[in-house]
Structure 1
Amino acid sequence: MPSFPRLRRVSICVLTAFLTCWVHPLPTFTHADEGMYLFNELPTALLQQRYQFTPTQSWADELRLASVRFNSGGSGSFVSSNGLVLTNHHVASDTLQKLSTPERNLIDDGFLARSFDEELKAPDLELNVLISIEDVTERVQVAVTVTDPESAGKQRQAAITRIEKESTDATGLRSDVVTLFGGARYHLYRYKKYTDVRLVWAPETASAFFGGDADNFEYPRYNLDATLMRVYENDQPATLPNFLKWSETPATAGDLVFVSGHPGRTQRIFTVEALEYLRDVRLPFVLDYLRRKEILYQQYRLEGNEAARRGRDELFGIQNARKAYTGMLAGLQDPQTIAAKRGRQDRLKAAVARSPELAPYASAFNEIAQIQKEKAALLGDSVKLRSDLFELSLAILLMTQEDQKPNLQRLPEYTESGRDSLLARLLSPAPLYDDLQLTKLTDEIALLAERRGADHPLVSEILAGRSPREVAAELVDKTDMDVVEFRKRLIDGGYSAVLASDDPMIQLARTIEPTYREIRKIEDRLDEREKQAYAKIAKIITAVEGTTGYPDATFTLRLAFGTVQGYEENGRFVDPTTTFGGAFEHAALHAGQADFDLPESWMNAKDQLDLSTQLNFVSTADIIGGNSGSPVVDRTGKLVGLIFDGNIQSLTSDYLYSDQQSRAVSVAGVAIREAIKTIYNAPELASQLGK
């Protein structure tokens, strides 16, 4: 399922701002292939019972060390000993956009490097490989000695910051403490970082997103949504001991497959009240925002060919998110969804009422219900304008302010352990186009005025008697925040340099910063209260239902499994696989519709292609946004596919999984190799795959 680079990841991680890390019910409550399992707690007994397969430790380790997380949002895998990384075209699109120019449109036209020298360096991409996992639950929990949400949150965050810094200092690895099971457990994840990442091959959008928005989240599909990059060390292709071998045979119906990736966020065990908040308040709010932005970028792209190129990735991300959230909302609006959740919640409450030992946790359900009301009251109060120039300005202001504090007291994203990754983002040389920035900032200021009212003191101070467009135009015209060297001088100069700066975008950030911090403080307090409440419910579930299966997704590495399997839809059977021949037939069926025009490269190679070669397939593996680019492997650990989407029925998987119709959609491994070799005439590159 698309992982939303740029707005796609924003829509998951920022727009929704969903709290996660729920415990999951017992396997007896799950559907057949449900589960996003921790690599240090794989469901070995379940796999043996259901599929007569037990993954060995070496099998799991090799898969883990070949799996990659993209900091732009998404997953990938190492697929050769000389540094090749496989991911989706739509995961790579953020990089493709940044590397494009008016003369070279990499997203639309594709790219192929025929030698190492031709490979293009990504401006700000970081790839993470999970090296180790350590349970640090006790260290975090003993540090919390108070119950007041604000004080408890500070103590917990200080403990997490201390653990992360100690780990980074001792190992040199990126170190992140991950909250699991509603705060019942905490794991320290250590990652090796690759920051020299170069583009090797990308197909045209016409093949990667064949069928356009009409086919998005549908099936059958005929997409080559794949891209190859390469990681470098010391300016040379990295030598990798762990990479995926490539299967020479396609996946077939009934095959057991595994997905190793980084699912973003799930809310599988939210209370009924939390789901009702999503259904009635949060998701409609997000959808209104997305529809507004969709119109905005559609209009911007009509200004000319260059505007169409510059705004392409923004619009695609918006449209993708809009369709995804529409499906999520439709699932929540199905009365059976809430009824099923309510039935389980009522059973848990009844068990609590009968158990004196569980009585201290009984208030958790009411606490969560109250928090949803407080969230609703805050909705629309955000002042973090979603414009690149402003976000850079606010981040630099906040970072230099936080640098004045001891490391343990800083906001989590500004602690020392994440400094290198933060600086890479703030000092990215990726281009920032004035006309696109003007469009973004104008609409964000206008939206702030709409939500708060034109007479609100903050809005009045920003507008100062001018229109949103006049304000934005002056800011974009006079700021130097689009110049990397200027941003670096501010960072190096610290808070005093930021305070002394007369840059108008910095001045805007200073105007908004007090309100931003005030709102964030309230949100953090709610977050801590909700975390404590969910931790209580986690204890209830464990006591009532037994051992829990897996925690909700946290954009960390998980293993899912399932079988290649078709499904029934509208009275007909949907075959689990498609072929290259089917793609040409699909194009002919939709002749005259631009989104169904296969690129010239495909048409030229049609006679040389084996049209019976598998192109896409579906499986029952449990995936969600963030899994895009995840490798699909067979029992032997060989790559057979590449996750790139889910069907429309899978869009409820944020909070409810069912294998009746929900399917994960993959590009077949045999299709990727055949396309590179035959369509793109790069047999030498194809021969590197899996070797």
Structure 2
Amino acid sequence: MRITLIAALVLSSGFAYADEGQWQPYQMPSIADKLTERGIEIPAKQLADLGQYPMNAVVSLGYCTASFVSPQGLVVTNHHCAYRGIQYNSKKEHNYLADGFLAKKMADEPSAGPNERLYITENVKNVTEQVTANLSDEPLTRYEQIQTNSKALIKECEADDNYRCSVNSYHNGLEYYLIKQLIIRDVRLVYAPPESVGGYGGDIDNYEYPRHSGDFTFLRAYVGKDGKPAVYSEDNVPFTPKSYLKINADGVKAGDGVFAAGYPGSTSRYNLTSELKFASEWLYPTYAARYQLQIDTITQMGETDRDIAIKYAGTIASMSNRMKKLNGLLDGFKATDIVGIKQSREDDFLAWLKQDKAANPKLIAELETLLAEQQKQTQTNYYFENAQSSTLLSTAKKLYRLAQEKQKPDAERESGYQERDMKMFRAELERIDSSFAVEVDKTLWLQDLNAYIGQPLKVKVFDNALEHANNHKEFIAKVDGMYALTELTDQATRLAWMDKSVEAFETSSDPFIRLAVDVHATNMDLEKASKLLDGKLSKARPKYMEAVIAYYKANNWPVYPDANRTLRITYGMVDGYQSKDALYKQPFTRLEGIAAKHTGEEPYNAPAKLLAAIATNDYGKHTIQSVYNDPRSWMCKLVSCVETKNDFNSVPVNFLSSVDTTGGNSGSPVFNGRGELVGLNFDSTYEAITKDWFFNPIITRAVHVDIRYILWMMDQVDHADNLIKELDLVRNP
């Protein structure tokens, strides 16, 4: 396989590891020298302490990252992270997605929805010994023992109902950590710009650069009058965080060291080449094609029904983001031959492993066998699982599973069905109405059913239940009848099923309940097969990771766990990059770029008041006079760079840095060297998408919304004076 020039440079130089790493906070002291080199002044020991500033101000939304920025529980995150809360409050008569929203006083701040939560990580403890003690060699028993041990730790940790605990696997089961998080259950919408600001450029600009997106929103955390977490109530009061971020109104310049903290979702940097090939050849193309079909369908239906467009706006945005990322991964694999890079590294590792007399020579072969089984299982189950994608069928399945699980002692129930899960379970049932329309759900389900019918792998009980035979019209009529006869579209009815017995389900006449009962046994068989395989992998993966870590350490390479939605820190510098021959992308974009892109049509339809503010050239205190190509940048170490002073004289909108991020880092606070907020992470460049598998420092850049643009919008455009007064604004010395 051909490896490109950039890839060859990466493999043959120390640049491969510059700024790489999604580090656990406790690891910070071990890389203190690297932080110092980047100009990070805040002590590494302080960053390792979750009880100290700034880490105690960084929070999770469960799917994105956010941070406290005032003593009154004010939280800032991305617009696309708060999308569900904005959508939840949008109606035909007041569409906050289109028009934006600003509460001038706290009494006007509405709930962001019953499902919205803030999770504040207070403690992380290594519990590897407790989870892996005396595990059986029998795979299914081994899997169940790991779950039982984890549940026992969680139960003890959650003695206080205000906390949510989890046991997370690191390095594919080599280590386990118990994470304790305070739950804020009352989250409210405070200030959101219109989508034409927050998502300026839409899907066209997604993962692209230059960007001009105002991807920010403010929320607020509320608690009961006793200061303890509570569900939404008008009597609740703003939460007082242990700490809140200082905001540097002067921002950063090119070459400045920065770091980000957040909850990155998933990376696969230690996975085998065979896993990458499976992803690139089958998994990603298959998923991307389905997303595209669903996006096209919902978009078309939304064009004729504004209510559908509002209800499914978040779904469309999420699908579009996933689809573009998948396509970007596929393009990236071709552009820089990531498969070739991974294979070269793997060949090196295997050669190194053979030199270790104590190593198991069958280690990789045994793992490859299990991975092949896993990939076959994924392909076999894919269409059947999608054929159950109807929101109403999924709801019926969960409710019937709950009835089954409630027959067991709580400790023996499956995760997601224990008493600790019931508040969220109920909230999910309540929230369905805000993002559900029968015609859309039915149309999408029929698409998945047709895909299932068109492939050879069938599940008899499912086919019999649907009775599609060979008559397509009768099949559609059958599906129409199910939606017409079900009562699960009614919220009160759905909630009532939470307390019903197994017998009530098995004697129900509701068509979706009946179908859920019919496919339950088959789904349990598939789940058992998956658990059995996971049990096998729980032995093979850790052994593999032990060897890989030893190999990395032998080469003096950074060792950090793949992302798994737990708190991490990454560092880097503000820097542009050479994206193509003769095309260098500057690190900052200007306010005037918004007006230059404006066409008056989506996705370049900037609001009139924003364009008017730009036209005044009134930048207030939020401008910088110049930017420059810093000779310290990695690109300048590879090619000749001349330090030049450039007139900027504008408000910076977005900027680039080399911090190591991925999905879940959306909304992550970006700090300067003193730990002051200077921006919010919201995206990556298209060339950088492959960093989920391999980090290439030469082209890997994260995209951030500049804090000066946020402040300028608050000050000059939306006049959010009440919020500006809450912020702790500081300036450079």
TM-score (norm 2): 0.85
Match of 1:366 among 362, 365, 368: 368
Q: Does 1:125 align with 2:116?
A: yes
Q: Distance in 2 between matches of 1:464 and 1:333?
A: 41
Match of 1:562?
572
For 2:143, give the aligned amino acid.
G
1:435-464 CA-to-partner distances (Å, cap 9, x unmatched) read 333333333333333345789552232245
SS at match of 2:343: helix
Question: What's the offset of the Cα at 1:540?
Answer: 0.8
Aligned partner of 2:32 among 34, 45, 53: 45
Aligned partners of 1:154 and 1:409 also within 8 Å? no
Aligned to 1:577: 588
Look up the match of 1:462. Answer: 466
Q: 1:446 to 1:105 in 2, by over 3 A?
A: farther
Q: 1:516 aligned to 2:535?
A: no
Q: Which amino acid aligns with 1:136?
A: V
Task: Give 1:676's aligned residue.
Answer: 714
Q: Which residue of 2 aligns with 1:602?
A: 610
| C-alpha deviation, 1:314, in angstroms | 2.4
Q: Are the counterparts in 2 of residues 251 and 640 from structure 1 also a CA contact under 8 Å? A: yes
Change in CA separation of 1:288 and 1:507 when aligned onto 2, cut-off 3 Å: same
Alpha-carbon spacing, 1:542–1:659, altered in 2? closer, same or farther (3 Å): closer
Q: Distance between the aligned counterparts of 1:668 and 1:689, measured in 2?
A: 16
* Structure 1 stretch displaced more, 222-231 or 492-501: 492-501
> Would you say how many aligned residue pairs link Structure 1 and Structure 2?
661
Q: Does 1:135 align with 2:135?
A: no
Residues 6-48 of structure 1: CA deviation (Å, up to 9, x unaligned): xxxxxxxxxxxxxxxxxxx9x9795201110111222433424
- 2:272 aligns with 271
Q: Which residue of 2 aligns with 1:638?
A: 676
Q: Percent identity?
A: 26
Which residue is equivalent to 2:488? Answer: 481
Residue 561 (structure 1) shift: 0.9
1:178 corresponds to which residue?
A: 168
1:624 is displaced (CA, Å) by 0.6
Distance in 1 of aligned mates of 2:522 and 2:429 = 22
283-292 vs 79-88, greater mean Cα deviation: 283-292
CA gap of 1:634–1:469, structure 2 versus 1, over 3 A, is farther
**1:197-221 deviations in Å (ceiling 9; x for gaps):** 1101111111111122221111111
In the other structure, the counterpart of 1:348 is: 349
Using the alignment, how far apart are the partners of 1:117 and 1:156 within structure 2? 47
Deviation, 1:98, is: 2.2
Over 6 Å off, 4+ runs: none
Measured after TM superposition, the shift of residue 101 of structure 1 is 1.6
Which of 178, 184, 199 pairs up with 1:194?
184
Q: Structure 1 residues 47, 319: CA separation in 2 closer, same or farther (over 3 Å shift)?
A: same
**Which has the larger Rg?**
2
Whether the aligned pair in 1 keeps the contact of 2:685 and 2:700 (CA below 8 Å) is yes
Match of 2:406 among 403, 407, 414: 403
Q: 1:639 to 1:471 in 2, by over 3 A?
A: farther
Alignment-derived partner of residue 646 in structure 2: none
Inter-partner Cα distance in structure 2 for 1:175 and 1:216: 34
Question: Structure 1 stretch 95-104 or stretch 377-386: which is displaced more?
Answer: 377-386
Please give the alpha-carbon distance, in whole angstroms, between the structure 2 residues aligned to 1:681 and 1:670: 15
Q: Secondary structure at the match of 1:660?
A: coil
- C-alpha displacement of 1:368: 4.4
The answer to whether the Cα contact below 8 Å between 2:688 and 2:700 also exists between their aligned partners in 1 is: yes
Instruction: Return closer, same or farther for 1:433/1:293 CA change in 2, 3 Å cut-off.
Output: closer
Q: What are the within-5 Å matches in structure 2 for residues 210-249 of structure 1?
A: 210-234=200-224, 235-249=236-250
For 2:217 and 2:301, locate their aligned partners in 1 and report how far apart those are by CA, in whole Å: 28
**Structure 2 segments unaligned to the other structure (5+ residues):** 1-10, 225-235, 624-649
Contact kept, 8 Å, 2:25 with 2:568, in 1: the verdict is yes
Distance 2:165 2:459 in 1: 45
Inter-partner Cα distance in structure 2 for 1:436 and 1:58: 50
1:70-89 C-alpha deviation (Å, 9 max, x unpaired): 13x21111111111111111
Say what the alpha-carbon RMSD is for the aligned residues: 2.5
Corresponding residue for 2:418?
A: 415
Q: 1: distance between equivalents of 2:560 and 2:289?
A: 33
Which position in structure 2 is the counterpart of 1:616?
A: 654
Q: Which stretch shifts more, 32-41 or 424-433?
A: 424-433
What SS does structure 1 have at the residue aligned with 2:674? coil
- Once the two structures are superposed, the pairs formed by residues 515-534 of structure 1 within 5 Å of their partners are 515-534=522-541
Equivalent AA in structure 2 for residue 228 of structure 1: F
The 1:126–1:450 alpha-carbon spacing in structure 2 relative to 1, beyond 3 Å, is: farther
**Match in the other structure for 1:258:** 259
- 2:104 is equivalent to residue 114 of structure 1: yes
Match of 1:382 in 2: 384
* Residue 149 (structure 2) aligns with: 159
1:35 paired residue number: 21
Q: Distance in 2 between matches of 1:439 and 1:501?
A: 25
Letter in 2 for 1:81: P
Distance 1:172 1:302 in 2: 43
Q: What is the rounded CA distance, in whole Å, between the counterparts of 2:269 and 2:398 in structure 1? A: 32
Greater Cα offset, 305-314 or 216-225: 305-314
Q: Secondary structure at the match of 2:17?
A: coil
Deviation at 1:501, TM superposition (A): 3.6
Partner residue, 2:443: 439
CA distance in 2: counterparts of 1:335 and 1:44, whole angstroms: 29
> Residue 654 in 1 paired to residue 655 in 2?
no
Moved more, 644-653 or 403-412: 403-412
Contact 1:383 1:448 in 2 (8 A): no
1:604 deviation in Å? 3.4
The C-alpha deviation readout for 1:403-424, integer Å capped at 9, x for no partner, is 2223443322223444433333
Q: Letter of the 1:510 partner, please give it.
A: V
Matched residue SS, 1:396: helix
Which residue type is aligned with residue 424 of structure 1?
A
Shift of 1:659: 1.7
- Matches of 2:257 and 2:522, distance apart in 1: 52
Q: Which residue of 2 aligns with 1:538?
A: 545
Question: Where does structure 1 lack aligned partners over 5 or more consecutive residues?
Answer: 1-24
> For 1:498, which of 502, 505, 508 is the aligned residue?
505
Q: Equivalents in 1 of 2:521, 2:366: separation in Å? A: 32
1:292-328: CA deviation from partner (whole Å, max 9, x where unpaired)? 2122223222323333333333222222211110011
User: Contact between 1:160 and 1:177, CA under 8 Å: does it hold in 2?
Assistant: yes
1:658 is displaced (CA, Å) by 1.2
Instruction: Describe the superposition over 1:219-240 as per-residue Cα deviations: whole angstroms up to 9, x where unpaired.
Output: 1111101111111001111122
Q: Which amino acid aligns with 1:566?
A: G
**CA, structure 1 residues 592+583, in 2 after alignment: closer, same or farther (shift >3 Å)?**
closer
How many Å apart are 1:544 and its aligned residue? 3.0
Distance in 2 of aligned mates of 1:608 and 1:49: 38
1:484-528 per-residue CA deviation (whole Å, 9 max, x = no partner) reads 322222112344443444332222221222222222222222233
Please say if residues 248 and 677 of structure 2, whose CA atoms lie closer than 8 Å, have aligned partners that are also in contact: yes
What is the match of residue 105 of structure 1? 95
Please tell me whether the aligned partners of residues 274 and 368 of structure 1 are also in contact (alpha carbons under 8 angstroms).
Answer: no
Within 5 Å, which residues of 2 pair with 1:422-433? 422-428=425-431, 430-431=433-434, 432-433=436-437
Q: Structure 2 vs 1, CA of residues 104 and 459 (structure 1 numbering), >3 Å: closer, same or farther?
A: farther
- Secondary structure of the equivalent of 1:482? coil
For normalisation by structure 1, the TM-score amounts to: 0.90
Aligned equivalents of 2:207, 2:468: Cα separation in 1: 45
Q: Is the 8 A contact 1:300 1:439 kept in 2?
A: no
Q: How many Å separate the matches in 1 of 2:81 and 2:315?
A: 13
Moved more, 613-622 or 494-503: 494-503
Residue 165 to residue 644, structure 1, CA distance change in 2 (3 Å) = same
For residues 55 and 497 of structure 1, do their structure 2 counterparts lie closer, same or farther at Cα, with a shift above 3 Å needed? farther
Letter in 2 for 1:604: A
Name the SS of the counterpart of 2:505 in structure 1.
Answer: helix
